[in-house]
Chain A
Amino acid sequence: MTSPKAALLRVEQLLQAMRRLTLPGSARREALCERLVETTGLSPSGVEWALDRCLELEPTAEEVAALVGSVAPSERAHVILPANVFVAAHRALALALAAAPRVFVKPSRREPALVEELSREAPELFERVSELCVRAGDQVWAYGSDTTLDALRGALPAGAVLHAHGSGFGLAVVELGGAAGVDAIGLRRVALAIAEDTACFEQRGCLSPRVVLALGGGDRVAAFAELLAECLVEVERRLPRGRLAPEELADARWYRECAACFGALHDTGRGAVSLGLELLAVPGQIAVPIEVPPPGRHLEVLAVSCLEPALSGLSRWVTAVGCSDEALEARVRQVLPRARVGPVGSMQRPPFDGPVDLRSEPAGELIRR
């Protein structure tokens, strides 16, 4: 087993290695970025943006202590990494290193670059593996689709502990009307922040907003959808959309055709903003099924008059919520205590104090047979 002090030291070693690897202007960073453009399909500026804005390299001591405190110690830990968000490897590794002195990492076949480069930078931190060899008592952090995680559950030995992080998506919540409404400049700032959160990783991760719940009258919501579309165009100039997989492109087309049938659809360069029907939510039931847009910079904007029931109906799937003001953040936290809640513009960078996805049980699932 491991002591909290040793765990802290390992996490600090990881942070140092990651800082060296991504040091601005360094040859190592340049090489890493080149590889990441190939493996992730993100545009070069998209990769740079993600490294600068989404990789947590300077957490506070309290955050690191909280991260270490969020895991139970074990002898060995395993990490199975996804391809969708390359910086996710950083926090996943930190959790495993906080838990165990021996860490085995199975990188994604599609995106192995970050882990490989990090391994060269700090070979003592973890072992890269192509197949898992899990024993009773080991902990496994796994990120992937619900189907993949179910398959993993069936394959793990009894006595292993699984920390499964499956499908989820982000929401943005904005207040457009009433006394708490914001002025035009403030609105533009909010829309731009949501657009930046959306552009990051082409919405492939569970922190990316896909749906915007807008409190306010129908006209205001429609105007905000247009503003959001403008901001996505502006962001696309700075951060060109990367390469999408054929299935993602097909899903994007399907979404656009469906959205064009109902309400307004604003093209935003290579993405789109759709204005859906008002979300009529009552406690325990969502009257209008929400269409979660596919990755690739697509947002569905929904007018909502009653926020709490709408959020409550979504609790199973929502990982992160970005809010336009602090009062909204407090309301959202009341309803979604297991979501990452913060201001819009910071959805992709939650505090480095534990797992990104707080929906699963903190202690993990003990595999039984």
Chain B
Amino acid sequence: MSLASDALHERVRNFAGRCLVGAAPVETFESLALDIARHQAEHHPVLARLVRYHGSRLLTLEDVPAVPADAFRRGRVAAHPPEQDVARFQTSGTTGGAGVHAFRTLETYRQLSVSWGRRALLGAGSARVTVLALAAPFEPERASSLGYMMQELMRELDGRALRDGGAFDGSEPGRWLLAPGVVDVAALRRGVEVAARRDEGLLLLATSFALVWLLEALGDGVLQLPPGSVVMRTGGFKGHVRAVDDAMLAERVARALGVEPERIIGEYGMTELSSQLYDGGAVEGGSVFLPPPWLRVTPVDPVSLAPVPDGEVGLARFTDLGNIDSALNVLTQDRARRVGAGITLLGRQPGARLRGCSLAVEALSSMDADPGALR
């Protein structure tokens, strides 16, 4: 089973690598996706049950049932045994209990996240940047996929110690700027000085709510980032008492950090996925998020689960080639509309469902931390 999985990982990394350099992949998205789905149906009790329930024969990509995102919360969604886990990323639990996405290797996740993040945030052929995170430090035991992704972006896009240009250390003081409810503005200033000394831009990876805290800490002041700087903004306001309009937040952050508004780039990710989408511009109704070539987003009818016609709103169904050992297709309750090569996200499906006792788990989560940091 591991050999089969390893081979799929290699094929996906190859597919992604070729797509990113503009070379024709040696196989199609569909054929790779179907092989992953068949592998999962063979080794993965959850997908096997879903396939049986739907009477699917997995002949085409449309035959592959989507695993609801809630399933990650209800039980193990993995094609490998727990003893092979190298990481178990946890969801924030803000929509009814914490979920877990287990990985038997992080190599593919790391390559996909970093390569698409680099392209989306810095552009093709990008130079090095100093990378800081306006988030709590990544700790393996805290099991945040976002924290892991931020750490790997630091490693790959910066890769040097802040202090003396020595070897990169993900836990170096001054790299992570958030303690519960407190923004380390002094460390951010030092990071800006480092980037200026290096004559390069600063990439600030941040959750939306942490940016609100930063604005509060800065007051009316401006902390000018060096030229070429970028702010990656992710996460909404689930679990927080306050919510701030996205556009207004971007405008205020742009002013406070002295960057152009278009260099504040939204990111959309979920613990249940291995790939992320990035803001590719705005249309009426919000940002258009662009998926990488190894991720497809299909809005589907919430009752029939069939794809809706282009331009109509449906539930976002993700087909993520990076999810080799979990769920190729993930169905969410986020409403989405296809716009060109991307999607706009329109919030959660209004539901009549009473979510009673999942709340028992929710009550345990602390509101002191930034739940946006744990997705």
* Docked-complex contact B302 and A262, CB < 8 angstroms: no
* Docked-complex contact A292 and B71, CB < 8 angstroms: no
Contact with A along B58-69 (1 / 0, CB 8 A): 000000011110
Per the bound structure, the CA–CA distance linking A261 and B40 in Å amounts to 13
Of the candidate stretches A53-61, A74-82, A234-242, A247-255, the one touching chain B is: A247-255
Minimum distance in angstroms from A366 CB to a CB of chain B: 25
* Docked-complex contact A292 and B353, CB < 8 angstroms: yes
* Docked-complex contact B46 and A262, CB < 8 angstroms: yes
* Docked-complex contact B49 and A250, CB < 8 angstroms: no
Which residues from A are CB-within-8-Å of B356?
A: 167, 169, 210, 290, 292, 314, 317
A291 CB contact (under 8 Å) in B333, B350, B358: B358
Per the bound structure, the CA–CA distance linking A167 and B354 in Å amounts to 7
- A292-B49 in contact given A250-B303, A253-B302, A258-B68 (Cβ < 8 Å): no
Per the bound structure, the CA–CA distance linking A289 and B67 in Å amounts to 18
- A254-B302 in contact given A277-B75, A289-B361 (Cβ < 8 Å): yes
* Docked-complex contact A249 and B71, CB < 8 angstroms: no
Per the 8 Å Cβ criterion, residues 342-375 of B in contact with A are 349-361
* Docked-complex contact A294 and B353, CB < 8 angstroms: yes
Per the bound structure, the CA–CA distance linking A292 and B355 in Å amounts to 6
B358 CB contact (under 8 Å) in A169, A246, A260, A290: A290
Per the 8 Å Cβ criterion, residues 64-122 of A in contact with B are none
A257 CB–B CB distance under 8 Å? yes
B303 CB contact (under 8 Å) in A167, A210, A253, A294: A253
Which residues from B are CB-within-8-Å of A294?
A: 351-354
B357 CB contact (under 8 Å) in A247, A248, A249, A286: A286
Which residues from B are CB-within-8-Å of A218?
A: none
Q: Which residue of A lies closest to B93 (CB)?
A: A289
- A253-B353 in contact given A258-B74, A261-B67 (Cβ < 8 Å): no
Minimum distance in angstroms from A154 CB to a CB of chain B: 15
Q: Which residue of A lies closest to B349 (CB)?
A: A250
Per the 8 Å Cβ criterion, residues 322-358 of B in contact with A are 331, 333, 349-358
Which residues from B are CB-within-8-Å of A249?
A: 302-303
B96 CB–A CB distance under 8 Å? yes
Per the bound structure, the CA–CA distance linking A285 and B360 in Å amounts to 8
- Interface centre among B46, B70, B356, B358, by most chain A C-beta atoms within 10 angstroms, is B356
Q: Which residue of A lies closest to B303 (CB)?
A: A249
Q: Which residue of A lies closest to B71 (CB)?
A: A261
Minimum distance in angstroms from A130 CB to a CB of chain B: 24
B73 CB–A CB distance under 8 Å? yes
Contact with B along A194-233 (1 / 0, CB 8 A): 0000000000000000100000000000000000000000
Per the 8 Å Cβ criterion, residues 89-103 of B in contact with A are 96-97
Per the 8 Å Cβ criterion, residues 38-60 of B in contact with A are 46, 49-50, 53-54
Minimum distance in angstroms from B362 CB to a CB of chain A: 9
Per the bound structure, the CA–CA distance linking A258 and B331 in Å amounts to 10
* Docked-complex contact B73 and A250, CB < 8 angstroms: no
Q: Which residue of A lies closest to B66 (CB)?
A: A257
- Interface centre among B50, B77, B357, by most chain A C-beta atoms within 10 angstroms, is B357
Instruction: Enumerate 22 A-B pairs (CB-CB under 8 Å) in ascending A order.
Output: A169-B354, A210-B354, A210-B356, A245-B352, A247-B349, A247-B350, A251-B352, A254-B68, A254-B70, A257-B68, A257-B305, A260-B50, A262-B74, A286-B360, A289-B73, A289-B361, A291-B70, A292-B354, A313-B360, A314-B357, A317-B357, A317-B359
Query: Residues of A with Cβ closer than 8 Å to B?
Result: 167, 169, 210, 245-251, 253-255, 257-258, 260-262, 265, 277, 285-286, 289-292, 294-295, 313-314, 317
Q: Which 6 A-B pairs have the closest CB atoms?
A: A250-B302, A260-B53, A290-B357, A292-B356, A251-B353, A317-B356
